[in-house]
């Protein structure tokens, strides 16, 4: 029973860390928006800061995602079984990862700074996708399954 509690704890903390890293990135991008979309001469400094932040955030998010996946697999194997609710949650997480990575590759990775506010909106769309998927996972987990 202790192992189950530890696995659930790791699963929940990993999910929270993943969610938190996404929110932190959103707030950071909002804070530096004027520096990356304006005509200030120091946009290269802020672009470098953004790149450094994203590298660090990605490390945290990657560890958190791996924690969610591994603890989820272990919970399914040892305690819950591979039931339909487990498959639905798993598919939602895989979909979230695929949509996020796909959007980053297609839209966000091509941004150069300074950029227009219309181009910068691509960042907010990325977070819209991520936060929508987080909400969907939580709604399905707590209210529908």
Cα angle at 14 between 54 and 92, to 5 degrees? 85
Q: How far, in Å, CA of 24 to CA of 76, rounded?
A: 30
Q: What share of the chain is helix, strand, coil (3-state, %, to 5)?
A: 85, 0, 15
Q: How far, in Å, CA of 88 to CA of 80, rounded?
A: 13
Q: How far, in Å, CA of 18 to CA of 6, rounded?
A: 18
pLDDT (tens place) for every residue of the chain, 145 residues total:
799 999 999 999 999 999 999 999 999 999 999 999 987 778 889 999 999 999 999 999 999 999 999 999 999 999 999 999 899 999 999 999 999 999 999 999 999 999 999 999 999 999 999 999 999 999 998 887 6
């Amino acid at each position: 029973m202790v192992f189950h509690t530890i696995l659930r704890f790791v699963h929940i903390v990993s999910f929270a860390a993943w969610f938190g890293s996404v929110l932190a990135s959103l707030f950071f991008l909002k804070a530096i928006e004027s520096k990356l979309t304006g005509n200030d001469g120091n946009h290269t400094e802020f672009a470098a800061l953004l790149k450094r932040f994203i590298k660090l955030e990605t490390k945290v998010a990657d560890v958190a995602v791996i924690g969610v996946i591994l603890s989820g697999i272990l919970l399914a194997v040892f305690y819950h079984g591979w039931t339909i609710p487990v498959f639905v949650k798993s598919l939602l997480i895989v979909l979230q990862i695929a949509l996020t990575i796909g959007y980053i590759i297609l839209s966000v990775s091509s941004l150069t700074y300074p950029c227009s506010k219309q181009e910068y909106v691509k960042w907010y769309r990325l977070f819209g996708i991520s936060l929508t998927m987080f909400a969907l996972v939580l709604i399905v987990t707590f209210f529908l399954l």
